[in-house]
Structure 1
Amino acid sequence: MNYTVNLLWDPDASVWVATSDDIKGLVLESGSLDVLIERVRMTVPD
């Protein structure tokens, strides 16, 4: 299954944020884009 995940930089908090309209409740943060992408991959259902 394919999902759209939005990755945005929050300059106020100095973190990357991942959200998705396709995955209810998905909100992840990380100071590193690479770490955030890995966290998204581990969290998103197959």
Structure 2
Amino acid sequence: MTTPIHIDARWDDEAHVWIATSTDAPGLVVEADSWRSMIDEVRAVLPDLLELDAAHARDVSLTFKAETHLALAAG
């Protein structure tokens, strides 16, 4: 059985990094300077986190939801 894991990603404009977290994988906190690097980091650390949680199946599907906030000057 495949377990869906939802990853919330947001761009931190001050630190210039993507930050990924997930309520489906407690303890997941990843920072990376590019979208691709963030995905790679999540894929690298997630197996170890899920190994600690016996409720998760071995096969998972990842869904990334991106968020960024921009300020626009009134013109």
Range class of TM-score, shorter chain: 0.7 to 0.9
Gaps spanning 5+ residues in structure 2: where? 48-57, 59-75
Q: TM-score, normalised by structure 2?
A: 0.56
Q: Which of the two has higher C-alpha Rg?
A: 2
The higher-RCO structure (CA 8 Å, 6+ apart) is 2
**Between Structure 1 and Structure 2, which shows a larger proportion of strand residues?**
2
Q: TM-score, normalised by structure 1?
A: 0.86
The number of residue pairs the alignment matches comes to: 46
Counterparts of residues 18-37 of structure 1 (less than 5 Å): 18-37=20-39
Gaps spanning 5+ residues in structure 1: where? none
Runs (4+) off by over 4 Å: none
